[in-house]
Amino acid sequence: MIKVIIIDDEPLARNIVKEYLADHAQISIVQECNDGFEGVKAINQHQPDLIFLDIQMPKINGFEMLELLENPPAVIFTTAFDEYAIRAFETHAIDYLLKPFSKERFDKSMQKWITQQNTDKNISTYSALADATFQQQLNQNRIVVKINNKIKIIPLQDIYFIEAADDYVKIHTSEGEYLKNKTMQYFETLLGGGQFVRTHRSYIVNVQYITKLDPYEKDTYTAILSSGEKVSVSKTGYTKLKQVLGL
Amino acid sequence: MFLSVFTKNKFRLYFVLFWLAWSSVHVCILLEWNYTLEEAWIDSSVSNIFLAAISGAVIISLKYYLPRKDQLLYYTLTCIILAGVWISVTRWILSYIIQEHSLNLFTQSIPVRFAFGALILGCITLVNVLFYTLQEQQEQERRKNEADRIAKDAELYKLRQQLQPHFLFNSLNSINALVVSQPAEARKMIQQLSEYLRNTLKKEEHKWVTLEEELEYLQLYLDIEKVRFGHRLSTQIQSEEKALQMKLPVLLLQPVVENAIKFGLYDTTGEITISIDAKISDKMLIIQIENPFDAEISKPVKGTGFGLSSVHKRLFLLFSRNDLLTTSAKQNIFVTRVKIPQQ
């Protein structure tokens, strides 16, 4: 049996997927979810083979939900987003269905999934950068992290700085530190162009919290934040920092 | 600021060539009048270098101040006065350089010189006035095109905003789901959606409608959302009887209700109520819209959120007042209040 989960906040939208799936053999819809929180729980519980996922949902969007999963299942997006926006995440899903979609189009997606499954087991390799670009388009001013099965939403303005920590990044905020399984480059793309500056290979800093810049060694500096924490600033980092601060 | 004719190298060259040619002609004429070659050159150089300088000054000053086209008298007088100044100063300078005999010849020829000087200045002024006027016209044309383009862009943007692609496609998706299981519902939704779209497309910005009409239209919009989210959306529309006949600018409340739907419905999970309440107070029509919001993910918008800034701007354009749209948040309820002055 192929285990499927449908995640969409509109019952009618889930109905149409169910209706179209009825013709496919060996499918078992193990759960339907109203939002991303439910989705994370259901996926961890059932370990489905395939999920149908809407993008815009309450609480957290489809992408934020995927980020919270350790082993994301194969995904077919169902969304009303236009083609332009779709291009950003085209690369890392099996397929995307633009609402309203036809039975034929739906069957094609299923076919694509079956073919990919036979040829390549690693279908859900997500392109982190495409993710970041798309998150920017959605205008999400927040980062979602998971701590002991609880989901925490961090507004960007609450972040002091982000630090590289092996395969993870450590997000330092007013309320504590959080780990997230993403690269520094992902955050640089996501946060780029605003009040966040990559001051060092291992640091991205929210310039709002910088109170002082002390010279450290030749051409390098140490930024002192209002929280008292210290962050390294490299030579190139200092150039970028000067630009943002208008020095 | 217009470009002076001197900004183009080609024109500068013409200017210099013209004066060289004219100076040579001048020399020939003076030779005819029994000047020696040396004196002829001195006379011609002094006269024409000075006249060229005056022309240059005229051209540059026209760049900064262009009198109205019908002030012919002004131009004529200026040319005559300048020609007079030119003759007197030239004679004064030459009196130090050339001999008595030649100076007498100069004095005799003043009327002819004066006429030529005035004529040349006149021609140069005319050419430049035309040149600048042409530029002015091109500039006006460009500005008009720009304004047209901006207006068109704004209109297209408005249309796109009104149509809300997400709303439209999600509604169509709901219809798609209803067609097989509940055909009657599907048909009803198609009717509602059509009526909603028709209203959106035909409404003109400047029209005023009664509150009753506006509320009917909002009800239509909310009914469509109920098909999509009927399991958790309920609405409550109330109005004082006499408020129903009060007037307000068409579609003014639409963005407010859309905002309420976005934060109250799209971004929440439980059962929610969106309420609209209208009353009259102090010759003002007061409409209050309430929606819940998820305090965990969206902080109450300070001042006016993006969706409401257009309403704020429109009210300001209509009534020149900044206090007609107010918002507040208590616990997890967001309240938007719109006041519309009545005549």
| Tally of domains within chain A | 2
The verdict on residue A220 lying in a domain is yes
Domain co-membership, A98 together with A185: no
Per-residue pLDDT of chain B in tens (343 residues, 90 and over written 9):
456 666 777 888 888 898 899 889 888 888 887 788 888 888 888 888 888 888 888 888 887 777 766 677 888 888 889 889 988 888 888 888 877 777 787 888 888 888 888 888 888 888 888 888 888 889 888 888 887 777 666 665 665 565 677 889 999 999 999 998 999 999 999 999 999 888 877 766 667 899 999 999 999 999 999 999 988 999 999 999 999 999 998 888 988 998 899 889 988 889 999 999 999 998 899 999 999 988 777 665 544 455 687 788 778 877 888 899 999 888 889 999 999 998 7
Residues 6 or more apart whose CB falls under 8 angstroms from that of B156 comprise none
C-alpha–C-alpha distance, residues B57 and A172, integer Å: 68
Domain co-membership, A16 together with A54: yes
Domain co-membership, A97 together with A171: no
C-alpha–C-alpha distance, residues B209 and A37, integer Å: 44
Domain co-membership, A122 together with A145: no
Domain ranges for chain B, please list them: 5-156, 164-202, 208-341
- At A97, which CATH number? 3.40.50.2300
Domain co-membership, A174 together with A123: no
Query: With a cut of 0.85, is the ipTM above it?
Result: no
Domain co-membership, A149 together with A203: yes
Closest residue, chain A, to B233 (C-alpha): A10
Question: Which residues of A are less than 8 Å from B228 in CB distance?
Answer: 10, 12
Alpha-carbon torsion (B274, B263, A84, A89), positive or negative? negative
* Residue written as token pair 């100069």: B106
Q: Please indicate whether, in this complex, the C-beta atoms of B178 and A34 are within 8 angstroms of each other.
A: no
Domain boundary among A69, A94, A127: A127
Q: What is the 3-state secondary structure (H, E, C) of chain B?
A: CCCCHHHCHHHHHHHHHHHHHHHHHHHHHHHHCCCCHHHHHHHHHHHHHHHHHHHHHHHHHHHHCCCCCCCHHHHHHHHHHHHHHHHHHHHHHHHHHCCHHHHHHHHHCHHHHHHHHHHHHHHHHHHHHHHHHHHHHHHHHHHHHHHHHHHHHHHHHHHHHHHCHHHHHHHHHHHHHHHHHCHHHHHHHHHHHHHHHHHHHHCCCCCEEEHHHHHHHHHHHHHHHHHHHCCCEEEEEEECHHHHHCEEECCCCHHHHHHHHHHHHHCCCCCEEEEEEEEEECCEEEEEEEEECCCCCCCCCCCCCHHHHHHHHHHHHHHCCCCCEEEEEECCEEEEEEEEECC
- Cα of A58 to nearest chain B Cα, Å: 4
- Cα of A71 to nearest chain B Cα, Å: 26
B287 forms bridges with which residues in the sheet?
B278, B338
The verdict on residue A230 lying in a domain is yes
Domain boundary among A69, A92, A127: A127
The verdict on residue A56 lying in a domain is yes
Q: What angle do CA A38, A41, A43 make, to 5 degrees?
A: 105
Question: Which residues of A are less than 8 Å from B172 in CB distance?
Answer: 99-100
Question: Which residues of B are less than 8 Å from A19 in CB distance?
Answer: 177, 180-181
Domain co-membership, A61 together with A163: no
- In this prediction the pTM is 0.65
- Cα of A96 to nearest chain B Cα, Å: 15
- At A232, which CATH number? 2.40.50.1020
Domain boundary among A98, A127, A156: A127
Closest residue, chain A, to B167 (C-alpha): A80
Residue ranges making up the domain that contains A50:
2-127
Domain co-membership, A150 together with A204: yes
Which CATH code for domain B208-341? Answer: 3.30.565.10
Of B322, B305, B298, give the one whose Cα is nearest residue B259: B305
Domain co-membership, A116 together with A10: yes
Is A77 in contact with A70 (CB distance < 8 Å)? no
